[in-house]
Amino acid sequence: MNENPTNSKEQLRIGICSFFGDGVPQDSEKGIYWITKAAEQDDKDAQCFLGVLFHEGNGVPEDMEKAVYWFTKAGEQGSVDAQSALGLAYHYGNKVTKDREKALYWYTKAAEQGHAESQYWAGILYGYGGDTKDTKKAEYWLTKSAEQGEPMAQKRLADNYENGYDGFPKDPQKAKYWRAKADEQE
C-alpha cells in the first residue's frame, strides 16, 4: 500500500482501511486524514463519507455544519446518498433549520437518479400542500417509488386513491392494486 498517495481513490481506500482497521492497524485519525485529503480533491465518495462521519460524530466531533458542507459538495457532484441525506436533514430539521424547499430540491435530485426512498419523500412533500403542492408531481414520484417496490409509497398510493388524499382522484381499482402490492411485501 502506497503510504503517500496523490490519487484521491487511493487516498480514500487508505483512509477507509485505516479508519476501520481493514488489513492495517485501526487508526481513525490517520483514516480521517486520508479521507479528508481525497475529499479536498473533489472525490464525491470521500466527501459523502466525511458527511456521514460528521453527522454521526464517528471518529470526529459531531458537527452538522461540516456534515452539510461535505454532503453538499458530494451532492452537487451527483452523490445520491449525499442528496438523500440532505433531503432528510432539511425535511426534518435534523440539526439544521427545517427548509421544505431545500429538502424537496435534494430529494428530487436523488429521485431523478432512481433513489426509491427519495422518490417517496418527494411525492410526500409535493402532496402535502403549501408552496410546493403539486398533485401531478406527487403522483408521479410516489408511483416511481412504488414501482421499485417501496412499500411506504405503495401504501400511500393506496390510501390516496382510496380516500382522495393529497388531491388525488378517488380510484378504487388503483387503490386495490397498490394495497395488494404493499401486502405482498409484508
% of the chain with per-residue pLDDT over 70: 98
Residue 92: phi and psi, rounded to 5, are -95, -5
| 122 and 75 belong to one structural domain | no
Q: What integer is the mean pLDDT of 85-93?
A: 95
b/e map 61-76, b = 16+ CB within 10 Å: eeebebbbbbbbbbbe
Asked if the model's pLDDT at residue 151 lies above 80, the reply is: yes
| 57 and 90 belong to one structural domain | yes
Domain termination residue (choose one: 94, 113, 132):
113
Domain membership of residue 67 as a residue range = 9-113
| 121 and 105 belong to one structural domain | no
Domain assignment of residue 47, yes or no: yes
| 28 and 72 belong to one structural domain | yes
pLDDT tens, position by position, 2-40: 567 789 999 999 999 999 999 999 999 999 999 999 999
Domain assignment of residue 3, yes or no: no
Domain termination residue (choose one: 66, 97, 113):
113
Asked if the model's pLDDT at residue 69 lies above 60, the reply is: yes
Asked if the model's pLDDT at residue 154 lies above 70, the reply is: yes
Q: Which amino acid is at 74?
A: A
What are the C-alpha distances in Å from 165 to residues 35, 104, 143, 151? 46, 20, 15, 18
Structural domains counted in the chain: 2
What CATH number is given to the structural domain containing 23? 1.25.40.10
Domain termination residue (choose one: 113, 135, 158):
113
Residue 57: phi and psi, rounded to 5, are 70, 35
Asked if the model's pLDDT at residue 78 lies above 90, the reply is: yes
DSSP characters for 23-66?
A: SS---HHHHHHHHHHHHHTT-HHHHHHHHHHHHHTSSS---HHH
Cell output for 157: 398510493
pTM above 0.95, yes or no: no
Domain assignment of residue 1, yes or no: no
Cell output for 156: 400511500
| 99 and 151 belong to one structural domain | no
| 109 and 137 belong to one structural domain | no
| 73 and 153 belong to one structural domain | no
Q: How confident is the model at residue 1 (pLDDT cuts 50, 70, 90)?
A: low
Helices (H), the chain: 8-20, 28-40, 44-56, 64-76, 80-92, 100-111, 116-128, 135-147, 151-163, 172-184
